[in-house]
Chain A
Amino acid sequence: MKTRSLLHAHRLGAAVLVAGVMVVHADTATTQAPLASPSSAVSASVNLKFAVTLGSFVYLRVGSVGATVDTVAFDLASLTAGCTMGPCTFGTGMAVAASSFGTLPVGVKSKGGVVRLSATATTGLSSGAATIPLSEITIASSDTTNLPAPLVPNSGTSGTVNVTETATGSKLTARSANWTFAYANTVVPSAGTYTGKVTFTATAP
């Protein structure tokens, strides 16, 4: 019986999103002792049906707390060091770690159980007609088991990765990790200024 109640609360929570709602339907019943024995025991029963909708929420933090916009920089000078003719070591797969702010703090919280994370290539990396595949950006999580980073796709939305519940079966999720960015360096980009955008989505499924 307990598990059935939990099941209903969970389902309703998913449907009503962030609202906290309690719905109660009650019958009324009145019972009187017989006139001949006014002190005799009486009983009355009512049927009380109620459903409690637990508010469900999802929280995602990408970057520092507050208004700061973290900027991670990759200095590719190492790919041209001592080299006089291109492409030097561009495109060799020699990954380049970020030179500053390469680690991004990420936090996920939810009351809806497992949270799914995906990455969407909102805008691909392009400079005029030239492009760099977004998959050149790789992310390594400090907690691959509980808060892994999704693969950055070249276009569209990546597959999802699961952010695990803090305690299995609790429906509560509160995880944090550091994601470290790197440049995979498997292509030789044309000179230019490339712009793009990646969006990470945390979904309570």
Chain B
Amino acid sequence: MKIAARSKKAFRFQFEVPADAPCRECRVMLAIEGIEPAHKALIESGGASMNLPVNGRIAVAVYFAVNGAEPKLEMKQVRMAELGGKRTPAISITNTSDAHGRLDGGLETKDANGVEFELVPDGTPILPGQTRLIALSPKTEGNKKPPEMAFPLVAKGTLDWDRGSFKIAAEFRQ
């Protein structure tokens, strides 16, 4: 397939699900990459030479819910956690069903200095059977830096998922 620079190409794809397929979620990744390498690493001299082309590839995850597969998220804990080397508010979620789910929504939050902001969850998927500790980060606008949070934080609001929501009222202490 040839795609001119900065242009679009539409194509249709479909999957045929067998009539007797069980209730489950199927996940596939549509990946597209160029033929020519984007980058080459060369090592020369010293008796050895190396040629290492580097390619870029873009991919989009596609989820198929077969025969009524759907997520069922359960909230386990709301607490402070060490994520990415930093103490941050977090929520522990388990997906006990057979399709992926995601969190959305936000918590209205006020810190010790009276600064108000919204804590929002990471929107990456929680796969079937998975328990994930999901960071709650201050929502920001544009290229603004997130506010420096002065603990304790008082947070209240609702985090939504596909088939329900969790009402939360919590205080986070560092």
Question: Cβ of A4: which chain B residues have Cβ within 8 Å of it?
Answer: 160
A194 touches B162 (CB 8 A): no
Q: Which residues of A contact B55 (CB under 8 A)?
A: 62, 122, 197-200
Interface size on B, residues (CB 8 A): 57
Residues of A within 8 A of B56 (CB): 60-63, 199-200, 202
Nearest to B45 among chain A residues (CB) is A77
The interface-forming segment of A25-33, A35-43, A185-193 is A185-193
Interface centre among A19, A71, A166, A190 (most CB of B within 10 A): A71
The segment from B15-23, B72-80, B121-129, B148-156 found at the interface with A is B121-129
The smallest C-beta distance from A105 to any residue of chain B, in angstroms, reads 10
**Contact between B52 and A14 (Cβ–Cβ < 8 Å)?**
no
Contact between A166 and B143, CB atoms less than 8 A apart: yes
Report the Cα distance A125→B125, complex, angstroms.
34
Q: A169-B120, A197-B52, A201-B57 known; A75 and B104 CB under 8 Å? A: no
**0 or 1 for each of A60-84: is its CB under 8 Å from B? (1 = yes):** 1111000101111111110110000
Which residues of B lie under 8 Å from residue A113 when comparing CB positions? Answer: 123-124
Select which of A167, A189, A197 is within 8 A of B142 by beta carbon: A167
Whether A205 pairs with B124 at a CB distance below 8 angstroms is yes
Query: Which residues on B sit within 8 Å (CB–CB) of A171?
Result: 123
Rounded to whole angstroms, the CA-CA distance of A73 and B51 in the bound complex is 9
| Residues of chain A contacted by B41 (CB below 8 angstroms) | 71-74, 98, 137, 181
> B108-140 vs A: 1/0 string, CB under 8 Å?
000000000010101111000000000001111
Q: Which residues of A contact B50 (CB under 8 A)?
A: 74, 125, 132, 193-196
A167 to B10, CA, bound (A): 29
Q: Which residues of the other chain, A, contact B63 by a CB distance below 8 angstroms?
A: 14-15
Contact of A74 among B38, B44, B61, B160 (CB under 8 A): B44
Given the contacts A14-B61, A198-B55, A200-B54, A90 and B141 also touching, CB distance less than 8 Å = no
Contact A137 B104 (CB under 8 A): no
Query: How distant is the Cα of A73 from the Cα of B122 in the complex, in angstroms?
Result: 39
Choose among B52, B62, B118 the residue with the greatest number of A CB atoms under 10 Å from its CB: B52
B48–A202 contact, CB under 8 A?
no
| Nearest opposing residue in chain B for A116, CB measure | B124
Q: How far does the Cβ of A114 sit from chain B's closest Cβ, in whole Å? A: 5
Given contact pairs A7-B104, A15-B62, A114-B123, A199 touches B33 in the complex (Cβ within 8 A): yes
Closest to B125 in A: A205
B89 at the interface (CB under 8 A from A): no
Kindly provide the distance from the CB of A147 to the nearest chain B CB, expressed in whole angstroms. 13
Minimum Cβ distance to chain B for residue A72 (Å): 5
Partner of A69, one of B40, B45, B139, B144: B40
| Interface: A52 (CB within 8 A) | no
Interface residues of B (CB under 8 A from A): 8, 10, 29-31, 33, 36-63, 102, 104-106, 118, 120, 122-125, 137-144, 146, 158, 160-162
4 more contacts with CB within 8 A, not counting A17-B62, A200-B55, A200-B56, are A7-B105, A199-B56, A203-B58, A205-B61
A interface with B by C-beta (< 8 Å): 3-4, 6-7, 10-11, 14-15, 17-19, 56, 58-63, 67, 69-77, 79-80, 86, 90, 98, 104, 112-114, 116, 122, 125, 127, 132, 134, 137, 162, 166-171, 181, 183, 189-205
